[in-house]
Amino acid sequence: MNFNIDKSSKKSGQMIAIILVIIISVVLGGLILKTEKPKAMTEEHEEHAEGEAHSEHEEGMSEESSGLDKQAIEAHEKQHAAQSPEVLKGPHGGKLFVKEGYGVEIAIFEEDTPPEFRVYTYLNEKPLEPTLSKVSLELARLGRTPEKFNFFKESDYLKSNATVMEPHSFDVHLNAVYNNKSYTFAYKQVEGRITMSDKQMTLNAVEVLTAGPAKIKSTLKLQGEIKLNADKSVQIVSRVGGIVEKVSVNAGDNVRKGQVLATVSSQAIADIRSDLLAAQKRVGLARTTYEREKQLWEEKISAQQDYLQAQNDLQESEINLSRIQQKLGALGAGTSGAGQTRYDIRSPIDGVVTVKKVSQGQVISEIDSLFEVSDLSTVWAEMTIYAKDINTVKSGQQVTVKATAFDAHAVGNIAYVSSLVGEQSRTAMARVVLNNPDKTWLPGLPVNIELTSSEADVPLAVSVEGIQSLNEETVVFGRYGNYFEARPVTLGRRDDKYVEVLEGLNAGEKYAAGNSYLIKADIGKAGASHEH
């Protein structure tokens, strides 16, 4: 019995010992876990794990409250006690930074005002009087000298002393002094920027030029029309009345000088040719008589008076023959033909039949215009000059003529400027003679005419190929290292090659010119945004 009691006591002592060991193990384990927890948080801080922690910060910040969430501040300080904190969104929609209970919210405001920095300060989740903090800011852009901003009180915030110029793509370093303690915060804001290596530029044929001075030509643009060169156009008439037997050409046909255009049957031509035949016979008879009388006179058989009379008759008959021949020549009619009544109307020049007003069987008179033949190797470009531009257009000025219906242009000089202004139109007219060897410029074709009215040297210009539109702004893509970044620009005068830059780009900066639209497309794919 005593044995059993001793045995039972021994078992109870073992159980108590086991329980004590378990309790001690649990206590030690708790102490170890408590000791390891700060270490794990420190390691997280050193590795900058942002995912869930950043989400907790954003959830902890209430946009509707004028103060700050205490839990968000505490979590923020624990994770970022040794360096600038993560960027949170503040109550005013700006970027919020908190350190040791002191908070700074910075925003770019541009509603009904030029873009400006606004800074809101907080202490322990409560708004802080702005004048208790002294804030300064340095803004660094690609390829530019850093800009410095100071701040002054405006309502419940601090306002920057200068405008925040576009683009809003930069590195920001903000320094705030509160209660004799300095706080430094930094963040980066990127928009309208892509990375492109030199090799990628070569593959995409992106041309990079340097912004600098250029000569800008101011041009005057006028409207005009191609017309026939009246100096090389001929109105063809019959010169004799008659009936048209045959028409050999149509409008638009090319003809050579001397080519028959139409054949006319004319009694007047028949009469003249009959007179010609009679005159030729009289000349023959007079010459025979003259030769006989000359021989008789030389042989002393007949009197000199008979010889002189025969000589005079010959001369008169020859003069009459010549007169009839000249008359036929003036009419353009031959001295003989298949029929004495036929008369061929011929082209006096090489050219194109631009007008045809005759048909077979038509009765015509000697004053009727039957054809117009024009030499189209040159044409006129006539332009309308408004009264305000009359003093700008001068004879001899070089102009560029451009077709409106297709891609064609030609260069010429003003040959004539009218000295009168139309009473109704209040416009004048100027004319340019254009070479037209390929018959590109057809009469009636509307054209635009550009002439250089002045030339000016500008200190800063870029190629017209470098100008693009992005987010409803006119931009140039500056080249900085391996980056292209959109730079909004204000433009001035321009011509076909260059555009003057008034603001937004500095002399010596490189920019994308040829194929710059590819950069715009890449920025669009990357999702260009305007961040504040």
pLDDT tens column, 4-28:
434 444 445 566 666 666 666 655 5
Strand pairing of 102-109 and 208-210? unpaired
- 120, 157 in Cβ contact below 8 A? yes
Fold of 230-266+345-375: OB fold (Dihydrolipoamide Acetyltransferase, E2P) (2.40.50)
CATH value of 51-189 in 2.60.98, 2.60.40, 2.20.180, 2.30.29: 2.60.40
Residue 453 pLDDT level (bands cut at 50, 70, 90): confident
Distance CA 54, CA 69 (A): 14
- 109, 157 in Cβ contact below 8 A? no
Residue 319 CB-density burial (10 A; 0-12 exposed, 13-18 middle, 19+ buried): exposed
Residue 294 CB-density burial (10 A; 0-12 exposed, 13-18 middle, 19+ buried): middle
DSSP three-state, residue 201: helix
Most confident among 37-46, 186-195, 420-429 (mean pLDDT): 186-195
Residue 331 CB-density burial (10 A; 0-12 exposed, 13-18 middle, 19+ buried): middle
CA terminus-to-terminus distance, the chain: 91
Write down the pLDDT at residue 86.
59
Lowest-confidence pick of 299-313, 369-383, 461-475: 299-313
pLDDT of 202 > 80? The answer is yes
User: How far out from the chain centre does Cα 464 lie?
Assistant: 6
Paired tokens of 125: 């989740």
Paired tokens of 229: 């060169």
- 206, 514 in Cβ contact below 8 A? yes
Fold of 194-229+376-532: Elongation Factor Tu (Ef-tu); domain 3 (2.40.30)
E-state strands within 367-421: 369-374, 378-386, 398-403, 409-417
pLDDT of 505 > 50? The answer is yes
Write down the pLDDT at residue 37.
39
> Which helix (DSSP H) or strand (DSSP E) does residue 297 occupy?
helix 267-298
**Domain locations in the chain as residue ranges:** 51-189, 194-229+376-532, 230-266+345-375, 267-340
- How confident is the model over 477-490, as pLDDT tens digits? 999 999 999 999 99
User: Averaged over 130-141, what is the pLDDT?
Assistant: 96
- Alpha helices in 91-177, H assignment, sequence order: none
User: Averaged over 228-244, what is the pLDDT?
Assistant: 89
User: Averaged over 267-296, what is the pLDDT?
Assistant: 82
CATH class entry, domain 267-340: mainly alpha
Distance CA 532, CA 110 (A): 9
Write down the pLDDT at residue 51.
36
pLDDT of 250 > 80? The answer is yes
